[in-house]
Amino acid sequence: MNSGGQQPEISVIIPAYNEAAGIQAALEQVATYFQSRAITGEIIVVDDGSTDGTAQLAGQASVPVAVHILVNERNRGKGYSVRRGILYAHGQYVGFADADMATPIDQLDKVRQAFAAGADVVVGSRALPGSQIAKHQPWWREQAGKLFGSFVRTVLLPGITDSQCGFKFFARPAAEAIFRQQQLTGWAFDVELLYLAERLGYSIAQVPVRWIDEPHSRVCMLRDGPQMLIDVLRIRWIHRKLQPVRKLPTNGDAGKGSEAGG
């Protein structure tokens, strides 16, 4: 991870693939949030080989916060892009949000509360009491997501209510340890991150979030679903030699899989 200069409190990574239509609005939403909370923050856009000028439009956005733009030479996958952005980041807390802002950035209030309570990793969840789904997915996609979540809980993460919400944040030392071990580049990378956090001994807090479905999701269940299932089954094997680390001081010891916020 980068260091040097005044350290921001929060780094928000936005992985983006052909998001020209909404990338400037996303940057404005994050910048407005930082200003309204008097947060020193930065935004890192990772353009994953877009062909619609996403990076150029992001660079033209006029926002009163630091914006860094990283461009992958070709489409490498969301997991690759998030990892690249996280390891570039400067912040005391680092995490990612989807470019469509399906989870509005003001949900960071709950994330910050969970960090203050001692969490090392904070996961947004659409499946906790207090979660608000302002616009649902089509019923078949929602059911497929629930089946995938049940599969993940059975195979790897019994305490995680929603592994796939694109709103996850990490205290810097935890991010260092977790993302340097991450290997998956596709859609199942979220599951890998949480598995690594548990294996490495970091405390995970889950917070209920408000969420709005984006109808133009990049995930195709028929194309991507089978690979996601295979990747989940691979995670334990990939990290079979991983040993818990001697944790650097982070934020104390919140209980694993605990719920926070409301």
For 106-163, what is each residue's pLDDT tens digit? Answer: 999 999 999 999 999 999 999 999 999 887 666 666 777 778 878 899 999 999 999 9
DSSP state at residue 233: H
In contact, 207 and 114? CB cutoff 8 Å: yes
pLDDT at 134: 80
Q: Residue 10: which H helix or E strand, with range?
A: strand 10-16
Q: What's the token pair of residue 70?
A: 């990283």
Q: Residue 147 domain-assigned?
A: yes
Buried b (16+ CB within 10 A) or exposed e, 100-129: bbbbbbebbebbbbbbebbbbbbbbbbbbe
Sequential DSSP letters for 26-52 = HHHHHHHHHHHTT--EEEEEEE-S-SS
pLDDT at 75: 96
CA distance 183 to 129: 32
Q: Residue 4 domain-assigned?
A: no
CA distance 7 to 235: 33
Closest CA to 94 of 115, 78, 76, 72: 115
Angle between helices 172-179 and 78-88 (to 10 degrees): 140
pLDDT at 246: 55
Q: What are phi and psi of 96, to 5 degrees?
A: -135, 150
Q: Residue 1 domain-assigned?
A: no
Q: Which domain holds residue 103?
A: 10-259
Q: Which CATH number do you get for residue 19?
A: 3.90.550.10
Q: Residue 227 domain-assigned?
A: yes
Q: Which residues contact 150 (CB under 8 A, 6 or more apart)?
A: none
Burial of 244 per CB tally in 10 Å (0-12, 13-18, 19+): exposed
For 41-95, what is each residue's pLDDT tens digit? Answer: 999 999 999 999 999 999 999 999 999 999 999 999 999 999 999 999 999 999 9
Query: What is the three-class DSSP state of 67?
Result: strand
Q: Residue 219 domain-assigned?
A: yes
For 28-45, what is each residue's pLDDT tens digit? Answer: 999 999 999 999 999 999
Whole-number percent of the chain with pLDDT over 90: 73
For 206-248, what is each residue's pLDDT tens digit? Answer: 999 998 977 665 655 556 668 889 999 999 999 998 887 655 5
In contact, 119 and 205? CB cutoff 8 Å: yes
Q: Residue 2 domain-assigned?
A: no
Q: Residue 188 domain-assigned?
A: yes
Residue 196 has pLDDT above 90, yes or no: yes
Q: Residue 5 domain-assigned?
A: no
- The dihedral through the CA atoms of 143, 147, 149, 153 has a sign that is positive
pLDDT at 151: 87
Whole-model pTM over 0.75: yes
- For tokens 């990772």, the residue is 46
At 5, the pLDDT band (50, 70, 90 cuts) reads low
Query: What is the three-class DSSP state of 122?
Result: strand
pLDDT at 249: 52
| Number of compact structural domains in the chain | 1
